[in-house]
Amino acid sequence: MTQSSQAPLPLVVLISGSGSNLQAIMDACADGRINAAVKAVISNRAGAFGLQRAEQAGIPTHVVEHNRFADRQAFDQALAERIDRYRPGLVVLAGFMRILTAAFVNHYRGRMLNIHPSLLPNFQGLNTHQRALQAGAKQHGVSVHFVTPELDGGPVANRATVDIQPGDDAKTLARRILEQEHRIYPETIGWFAAGRLKLVDDQAILDGKPVAQLDKTYP
């Protein structure tokens, strides 16, 4: 268990689905591995199982359904208003399946992270596991990155690599990738909470050095 004299970093987590990464983050907060606390969980889908995970942990939940708004700008404005009630130090996208406007992203510049199931910049977008297999890739993985207006294009802060095995399909690959997601997302949030990770001039900086110069597998 880590010890810190600083107050836990307040997090707001955005989800759209089952919330397995949310669970990994909540667990890391609860057992003191990272000096952070989830203050609210917000979903754009009312039926997202991740909302139940948060409720069971006593964390406030909100639903802001995107299809109830006239356009993306109106949805993003309502979402930002809900987020900002909690004054988060970091906004965490954990399986949040909406493309966000530049105005929204820039509002949280340097304090919003996303996790993407590929070794960015490879395979931005959807269906990454199948695309990696079809491309004949030898390795696949997962990346945590700062969010910028470019879809899945922000500076990578952390990543983990998985070897593609003979006989792998999208499901077997996805299972092994998910194990790494649950490891590196809390780890990266912990770095940010400790002041070790920052966004400086469009570069992810860890312990004073650009992440691009470091071993991105972080064993």
Domain ranges of the chain: 9-108, 117-142+154-219
Active site residue ranges: 116
pLDDT digits (tens, 9 = 90+) for 90-127: 999 999 999 999 999 999 999 999 999 999 999 999 99
CA distances (Å), origin 97, targets 23, 153, 190:
17, 15, 24
CATH architecture of 9-108: 3-Layer(aba) Sandwich (3.40)
Region 54-72 average pLDDT: 97
Two domains, one topology: 9-108 and 117-142+154-219: yes
Sign of the alpha-carbon dihedral angle for 195, 121, 26, 57? positive
Helices (H), 152-215: 170-193
Q: Which H helix or E strand runs over 24?
A: helix 20-30
pTM above 0.85, yes or no: yes
At 134, is the secondary structure helix, strand, or coil? helix
Going through the chain in order, the beta strands assigned E by DSSP cover 9-15, 36-43, 61-63, 90-93, 112-116, 139-146, 156-163, 197-200, 203-206, 209-210
Tens digit of pLDDT for each residue in 151-191?
899 999 999 999 999 999 999 999 999 999 999 999 999 99
Note the CATH architecture for domain 117-142+154-219.
Answer: 3-Layer(aba) Sandwich (3.40)
